[in-house]
Amino acid sequence: MVSPVLVAPSILSGDFTRLGEELRIIESSGADWLHLDVMDGHFVPNLTFGPAIISQLRRKSKIPFDVHLMIENPQDWLKAYREAGADRLTIHIEACRHVQRQLMLIRELGAAPGVCLNPQTPLAGLEYLLADCDHVLIMTVNPGFGGQSLLESVLPKITLLRQMIDGMRLRTLIEVDGGVDSENSQRILAAGADVLVMGSAFFRDKNKQALVSFIHGMATPRKRGKRNAGRPEKPA
């Protein structure tokens, strides 16, 4: 089965003085999701925005909001980000002690749950969480900043995860974040990715529509999985 590739531009690389306009540019490019990087200055050495800004953006757009929480104690914030308008909520496995409980909470709140793994974090233990994850976000840079180079050493982890998901006959999506551009996309997709986050490469491209169409034209070969636990037929 050949599945469509999804593109999720990260507004982190946009101009924060004109976020509404950047949002419209992302929507009109034909992108699938808006990726929102929330940083707390503790889990990562940088700060971005919180629920107030996300809820203001939410009023301006219908595009699915893919919220990447790079924060300590994400369990304390899930409700606030869901109420702000997150359609997908991703928590870092390194930031949370009872990950499965939080995945259930995200599902109960009505959003699509996902976990994120930093570059050095192994897949060990993920097999026990995968059925509760609508997506797994694989970091291909150390999180905290846009504009870094892809860590090629992480690509084999994507392939191993693809095998794990296909072997378990699940539909969990593999999302890849960090240093993704039009040159390395095919390699990342060949490794097994379904969703590509793009920050700096998206915003520096003059023809964003052509960029998104180019990525959409690529394919990721994957097996048909069964329905994940509680996963809606048509996830955001």
Q: Is 37 a catalytic residue?
A: yes
Residue numbers 45-84 binding ligand DX5 by CB under 6 A: 68
In the block, tokens 């609508």 appear at 134
Q: Is 134 a catalytic residue?
A: no
171 is a contact residue toward ligand DX5 (CB under 6 A) = no
CA 120 – CA 126 distance, rounded (Å): 14
Q: What is the DSSP pairing of strand 195-198 with strand 135-139?
A: unpaired
Residue numbers 191-230 binding ligand DX5 by CB under 6 A: 197-201
Our CA angle for 5, 87, 200, nearest 5°, is: 55
Contact window for ligand DX5 (CB under 6 A) among 50-58, 94-102, 103-111, 141-149: 141-149
Write the interaction track for Zn ion spanning residues 140-179; mark x where CB under 5 A is met and - where it is not: -------------------------------------x--
From 182, 188, 105, 104, select the one nearest 139 (Cα to Cα).
188
Q: How far is the CB of 166 from ligand DX5 (least distance, A)?
A: 25
Options 132, 177, 194, 205, the catalytic residue: 177
35 is a contact residue toward ligand DX5 (CB under 6 A) = yes
CA 96 – CA 89 distance, rounded (Å): 14
Choice from 50, 119, 144, 225 touching ligand DX5 (CB under 6 A): 144
Sequence-ordered alpha helix ranges (H) in 48-134: 51-58, 78-84, 99-109
Residues annotated catalytic, as ranges: 37, 177
